[in-house]
Structure 1
Amino acid sequence: MGGDGTARRRMRAAALTLAGLIAGLGLARAADAIDVETTGALYPRDGRRDLTAEDRLRFPGAGVLWCRRPDGVPRKAAAAWLIGAPTLVMLNAHNFRNRQLETTRIVSDCYFQIGGRNYDFVADSLQLGVARDAERLHITDDWALLRLVQAAEAPTQPLPEAPPDLTTGDLTLPVTMVSPGGHGNYRGEASLETCTVRRVDPPTEGDTRRARHDCNDGYGGSGSGLFDEAGRMVAMQSASLSMNSRHAFDIEFHYGSALLIEGALLDALREAVRRPQPSP
């Protein structure tokens, strides 16, 4: 009897332990599900974290485009980068044009914020990446440059010395997505995530290539910078064409897209750095 009782107690303890492990696993899965539901992350795994002061030193030039609504209230629009010069800002063209290249915002309704200060743009300094005869806005010409009325008192992102040395086709390139404008599906004001570029498409508009990646993104994350392991900015986020799908990354389904800093964009940046600042 005593031996049987001991065996039963051991079996009961083991069963309780197993039940606890199963329950714990269930709670962990539930917590993951709750996290995804709460954040609205693009993929089930959300590796984003808040951008720190140390991160801003590692990735200088990270700023935010703010634009005023029709009632005059300013709203955060997207990420933007002080790059190459203290008056030069790089961002997405789709902040000012839709896919049909119709004007959606005017420059004078917007300003650039970096280091806790706001800076106005030179109203007529907008340079778009689209060709003059273009009829639509694409991923690889979705860039714009603007000048600030006065030099920003903040460190600038260095101008790339050369285009990214990346082969066209499938690859595995670890990158860090830096999102100073945050994301609509992220709780914080700004975020950082380690993720991977999975494919580089052949060059299209402006002899620029599109990089497809598995970085989480959300509304407001446009213009985020993708940095390689050496800390070089290699691409700028343009679009995630399937938002908040909550599926594991599938390159044929998600198409997280950034444009590499090369071709016409890199040429324009170099020319803008050489060119004197226009008068306000």
Structure 2
Amino acid sequence: MRVCRNDHRRRVPCPPGPWLAGSVAAILIAICAGAAVARDGRAVAALYPRDGRRDLTGSDMRRYPGAGALYCRRSDGIPQKAAAAWLIGDPSIVMLNAHNFRNRQMEKTREVADCFFQIAGRNYDFLPDSLRLGTEPTARALHITDDWAILRLATPAEGVAAQPLPEPPSLAVGPTDLSVVMVSPAGHENYRGPSSLESCRIRQIDPPSEDGIRRARHDCNDGYGGSGSGLFDEAGRLIAMQSASLSMNSRRDFDVDFHYGSALLLEGGLLKAIQSLTQAGRRD
């Protein structure tokens, strides 16, 4: 703390400088506008003017089973919540995003052994050699539609239900207006709660990739930590997994070309991989 002298030459704390006053003012304005504040003091905001997120409840967890979170250890060994992840089809299979372990150039960013899965307050280690990525072995880039990964737990999760095996969504390519619920068990940096749920809409379905997976463009609020969030239809079926959003913390209207969220539909190669691993687990 800086020390100054007043008119009586007594040592007193100095008043905040213009930079500090401005920073505090900016944060207060952001809070009044409905934004959250990151741990480092940055003001962060929802993606869209409408923000209908709320905390997940116990009844939500029963309606949307399998919701968990990926935790990974920092360089100092302290575990940190990284993203959403789903127990799916089997009590030992976890679905999440490939970008938790690879960057856009397909370079390794984390070791599986440095991470674990948390669900219902319990932690489970992964089998380190079980990582299956949505990309081809020779791929040099990671795209939205192959941004998926599957891991197997070292021991099956106990006392919790897995998300049922998904059915391929019957959605036509092109503009649409489908009501969905985004379930974010790991929360978002720009939301104050530890987890969130929001009703929102899928606005467009893109053509399929070579692996038969399509991207859904949606208007669900997202923030850092929201990767892997599940998009559920009105019947409670998991139909897509969140990958990324454009212009994070930029609060403005949805635009199908310039300001939207991207999720990959649970179909094609991803669905086949889940089905294959589930069947293998039952044989074991």
Q: TM-score, normalised by structure 1?
A: 0.86
SS of the residue 1:48 aligns to: coil
State how many pairs are aligned.
249
2:276 to 260, 271, 274: 271
Q: CA deviation at 1:182?
A: 0.2
Please, which runs of 5 or more residues in structure 2 have no aligned partner?
1-28, 38-43
Deviations along 1:153-212, one digit per CA (max 9) or x if unpaired, are 11100011x310100000000000000000010000000000000000000141100000
User: Bigger CA drift: 48-57 or 268-277?
Assistant: 268-277
Separation in 1 of the partners of 2:282 and 2:81?
26
Separation in 2 of the partners of 1:220 and 1:37?
14
1:70 to 72, 75, 94: 75
Pick closer, same or farther for the CA change 1:36–1:130 going to 2, 3 Å. Answer: same
Please, which runs of 5 or more residues in structure 1 have no aligned partner?
1-29
Q: Which residues of 2 match residues 79-98 of structure 1 at below 5 A?
A: 79-98=84-103
Runs of 4+ in 1 over 2 A off after TM superposition: 30-33, 36-39, 276-279
Separation in 2 of the partners of 1:119 and 1:252?
39
Q: Are the aligned partners of 1:36 and 1:44 in contact in 2 as well (CA < 8 Å)?
A: no
Structure number with the higher helix fraction is 1
**Paired residue type of 1:34:** A
SS of the residue 1:112 aligns to: strand
Q: Which residues of 2 match residues 78-157 of structure 1 at below 5 A?
A: 78-153=83-158, 154-157=160-163
Q: Could you tell me which residue of structure 1 aligns to residue 184 of structure 2?
A: 179
Q: Are the aligned partners of 1:66 and 1:113 in contact in 2 as well (CA < 8 Å)?
A: yes
Report percent identity of matched pairs. 65
Q: Could you tell me which residue of structure 1 aligns to residue 46 of structure 2?
A: 41
Say whether 1:237 aligns with 2:242: yes
SS of the residue 2:117 aligns to: strand
Q: CA deviation at 1:255?
A: 2.8
SS of the residue 1:131 aligns to: coil
Q: Are the aligned partners of 1:171 and 1:197 in contact in 2 as well (CA < 8 Å)?
A: yes
CA RMSD of aligned residues (A): 1.7
Q: Are the aligned partners of 2:254 and 2:260 in contact in 1 as well (CA < 8 Å)?
A: no
SS of the residue 1:101 aligns to: coil
Pick closer, same or farther for the CA change 1:241–1:73 going to 2, 3 Å. Answer: same
Separation in 2 of the partners of 1:199 and 1:32?
32
Q: CA deviation at 1:101?
A: 0.3
Q: Could you tell me which residue of structure 2 aligns to residue 261 of structure 1?
A: 266
Say whether 1:53 aligns with 2:63: no
Separation in 2 of the partners of 1:244 and 1:91?
23
Separation in 2 of the partners of 1:70 and 1:196?
38
SS of the residue 2:211 aligns to: helix
Q: Are the aligned partners of 1:202 and 1:210 in contact in 2 as well (CA < 8 Å)?
A: yes
